[in-house]
Amino acid sequence: METGTAHQKITLAFINDKSPILDCICNDLITSGFKVLFRSENIDEGLSQLSSLTQLPNVCIIDLDFYDKSILTQLQEFRTKYPSIKLIAHSDIDNEKIGKTLLDIGFSSYLLIGSDVDNFRKAIEGVVKS
């Protein structure tokens, strides 16, 4: 059970729009010892939940909806308010320009839809160690 002990210190938050696949990944991460502080459906709701926490999560995984024209503004606001939280993007868009924009905003990692729980685990551990 050493793996679970190592993950217990890593806290997560999920901002996603009711994805059954991401729900399963979140549940698998909880089972493997990560602690999920909250889950919300959009960035505004996530910002509200973050403001009520006494301890911020180490990592926030954000399922990006690029069809929402205000998404980049919301992400910049998130990054400005919570610069210590490591951000991992989750999206179905495999585009170098989008990836560069996310890195410029301050995302630490980018996972494509279809990534499995092992991909998430590696990304989370990687950004926490960096």
Q: Where are the domains of the chain?
A: 2-129
The structure's pTM equals: 0.88
pLDDT digit string (tens) for 76-123?
Answer: 889 999 999 999 998 888 888 888 888 888 899 999 888 999 999 999
Question: pLDDT class for 5, splitting at 50, 70, 90?
Answer: very low
Report the candidate in 13, 28, 6 with the shortest Cα–Cα distance to residue 59: 13
The whole-number pLDDT of residue 66 equals 62
- Going by C-alpha positions, the residue among 30, 29, 107 that lies closest to residue 64 is 107
What proportions of the chain, in percent to the nearest 5, are helix, strand and coil? 45, 20, 30
* CA dist., res. 20 & res. 23, Å (int): 5
* pLDDT on residue 63: 87
The CATH superfamily assigned to 2-129 is Response regulator (3.40.50.2300)
CA atoms within 13 A on the CB side of 38: 18
Per DSSP, what are the bridge partners of residue 40?
A: 15
Q: pLDDT for 34-92, tens place per residue?
A: 999 999 988 889 999 999 999 999 999 998 876 667 888 888 889 999 999 999 998 88
